[in-house]
Chain A
Amino acid sequence: MPPIETTALQPLAAPLWFIIFFRILGFVLHALLMNLWLVGIPLALLMNRSQDPNARRWSSRLLRQMPVFIAFGINFGIVPLLFIQYLYGRTFYSATILMAWHWLAIIALLLPAYYGIYHYAFALKKDPETIPGYTRAAGWIAALFFTIIGFFFVNALTLTAEPEMWKSLWLAHNSAGASLGTGSAVSNPEIWPRLGMMISLAFGTLAAWTLCDRSVSMSKEESCAESENAYRTWSARCARTLAGVGMAGFIACALAFTSLLAKGPSLDAPLSGIANIWIAGPVLTFLAVLFLAGRQGKAAAFLTLVIQIVSLSVFACVRLWIQSLQLESHLPLSQFTIKTDLGPMCLFLGTFVFGVLLLSWMLAIVVRNLRKRETA
């Protein structure tokens, strides 16, 4: 048995469904934005060098919005990480301690990556036609760092869900029984399809962003009609390609992942059914993009975004289910006792509702501002 403390945990302060709901909500919001930087940055950097003005326009728009996506993406990641520690702290902490330096490196990599993207976005704003070499280098370094960060996350979450891996890793990386923090889960083949699934989903999100951004950025001026039509056609083709690549990649990775799971410690789960549910998400996104990409208007574009959110939610729910099954023999969900603590729960819910109201008010200001600009 892996070394996991077995004494009774403090009771949960809220029902399990409540915690799982917010964990999934936070994860979906985080993944939506994280997808954009994971695949969006390298693609946008490539497109930025293209001779095609449509590709450059797509790239510039994405990169200029990227700092805001990163800010919110990191922020939304707090909730799932908080609740994974709340439920599975006993495996999460040991897993991250085994790879402590890599885990901590996420912070060290995130800072330059984030500032690198800011630097690129400022350069684009200043003069999109002449991006200096060092700015391009900063962009590529940021893209590389974000990919490494994704890889470390997959490592940590794989180790969290599979304590069977700990012993060999720990014995290979310790000093008198204390972890040196230099381990990783690379010996586990599951991490590659896991990373692949996340990257594939990112293509779908990028496709949805392409359509949404097009719907809000198209100029209605007649003098621009030709270039706007060209961009409309280009972006529809781009979105379809992205969604297609995402779907194909996801199918391959999901099948590889479930077959690896089937070879591992026996899970009491219908793995082929899981693969089918998973695959349904990106297929749905692909179909939505395929049929809606040619349509004008915001409704069609935002419908694809909603479908992608559903796809990410399905992915998150199934992933959570598998995680709980993998940990069932070590930390069964049934062991959690619940002693609802209404006071703090209400504090959070009250803050949440109030926060949503404030965000809606701020959004209303933005919409009002956009409309004013449109009429002007």
Chain B
Amino acid sequence: MDYLWWHVPILTAPMLIAFIATVHVFVSHYAVGGGLFLAAETTWAHKTENRQYLDYLKSHAKFFVLLTVVFGAITGVGIWWVIGLASPLATETLIRTFVFGWAAEWVFFVVELTAAYLFLSLWDRVTPRDHCTLGWLYAGASVGTLILITGITAFMLDAGKWPEATQAGMNGSAFWLGFFNPQFLPQCVARIGVALMMASTWVLFHASIFVKSEELKFLIVRRTARYVAAGVVLSAIGILWAGAILPEAAKLSLMRAAALNVILGAGVIAAGFLLFQLFILTARPQWLTPASGLAVLCAAMGILTSGEFIREAVRKPFILPECIYGNQVHVSKVEMLRQNGLLESGVWTKPYVTEKFPHLVDAQTGKLVLEQARPEDEKALGEIIFMHHCGGCHAQEFGYSGLGFLSTTSEKGEIAEMLPRLNSQIYSMPPWCGTAKEADLLAVYLESIAKPHPFQKSGSQKSAPQETETQKGAAHAAN
């Protein structure tokens, strides 16, 4: 409630994060794995004096720089842009905790960028030794950026002892406690593995289009197979390790949410498909065509999308574990909001209600008296509460996780009854952060946008409340 909310109709602001982040990781993992691939392969090609392969690597390096330095870098900035817009409080907390981690990552970026340009532009113009060193410098810097950012993204899934220690007013460094969280090492291993796999698929895709010589194709596929094998082993170890030590709530979310089951299943199928394709291609390199190259790349993107979506989804109800809920409320403020009210306590909601509903302001205390709300005010007040309590994850009538559909109900008053115990049944929801009166107001709004119950005839009040509750629970968990 500290910051202004950004209302993105239909899609919701967090889905913009998901979109930008997903397209970014396709390229950012390639930037890391591709760096290792180019450094190692250039070294090998120089050593064996394989001119043909060196020429191919040069053309691949050009493609690599064009994709990673432009698209990868800008979408990376894009994530930073959009998280500040969609989750300002969480972003502020992350920046306040990890500012020097990000600053150090920036230094790695500068080294990475310089090395990438020099590696490409000085091709054949410096000694092989210097050239390879530039390649390895790029690779080292890109692995450095991966390690630094993984410390922060893994923290967002499991902050370890950080929340407890910071709430107790710790004396030591919050940075290291947060950075070396339980998920850090397994996710580093998994990400390096995924980076190698992603790089292999980009190499195959590129080669399938630009390489005409069968002999060269054969060499590229065989050389790439090593990175696939290393990638599969590392990512499997990392993912299993990370999965085994997932926080209990995250494990439970993964098990019970139907949508996540489907996404996980899709990811596993994509992984199987990818491995099958890579196995076939390794055995029959001549089958590397633009179509099979694209299929391999798409399968890898499918795996990455499913993995990233799951990683984000199992964090619910938190954005930052045990610190900030999905609706931008700090854990420590829930009780205060329940007592004083969300509209009263919100830095932006109070001036808004004061401006639009001056008759609700007590002349003496200056506080909002929602009990004075007129019947015609109730829906509008409920909508303000919706925007600030629910709008971060739910669209209104239509759209992503739209409450118009999720609130489908037959019983009048049922929603109002459920809101105060929002998280007791559906633990992936944040707790109710308002007064009882505010719950009533929100219910008025939600009932106004709720779609009619599909199995209930108009005017009838016959459906079983128990069943409706279960349906809602399943729907929430699925989202």
Contacts and interface: CB of A to CB of B under 8 A. Distances in A.
Nearest to A364: B130
Given A14-B100, A97-B88, A107-B81, A177 B70 contact: no
A238 interface: no
B66 A348 contact: no
A157 interface: no
Given A74-B73, A106-B81, A178 B92 contact: no
Given A110-B74, A177-B352, A355-B108, A93 B3 contact: yes
A63 to B, nearest CB: 16
Nearest to B5: A178
A96 B84 contact: yes
Interface string A82-118: 1101100110111011101001101100110011001
Interface residues of B, number: 73
Interface string B73-102: 111011011101100100110011111111
A347 B74 contact: no
A344 B179 CA distance: 10
B111 A71 contact: no
Contact of B384 (A14, A78, A167, A177): A177
A352 B9 CA distance: 42
Interface stretch (A3-11, A43-51, A249-257): A3-11
A269 interface: no
B66 to A, nearest CB: 7
B35 interface: no
B5 A177 contact: yes
B252 interface: no
A79 B95 CA distance: 12
Nearest to B144: A351
Contacts of A9: 96
A221 to B, nearest CB: 20
Interface in B1-60: 2-9, 16, 20
B203 interface: no
Q: How many interface residues does chain A have, given as a range?
A: 35 or more
B175 interface: yes
Interface stretch (A168-176, A184-192, A223-231, A240-248): A168-176
Contact of B176 (A107, A344, A359): A344
Nearest to A373: B125
B92 A89 contact: yes
B315 interface: no
Nearest to B85: A100
A348 B384 contact: no
B70 A118 contact: yes
B217 interface: no
Contact of B113 (A71, A81, A177, A365): A71
B422 interface: no
Contacts of B5: 97, 177-179
A107 B77 contact: yes
A343 B176 contact: yes
B142 to A, nearest CB: 13
* CB-CB nearest 7 A-B residue pairs: A93-B88, A344-B100, A178-B7, A177-B352, A178-B5, A5-B2, A355-B107
9 contacts: A10-B96, A13-B175, A72-B113, A85-B84, A103-B85, A176-B7, A176-B383, A178-B6, A365-B130
Given A71-B113, A178-B4, A347-B104, 18 more contacts: A13-B99, A13-B100, A68-B117, A75-B113, A82-B99, A93-B88, A97-B6, A100-B6, A104-B82, A107-B77, A114-B74, A175-B7, A179-B5, A344-B175, A362-B134, A362-B137, A365-B126, A365-B130
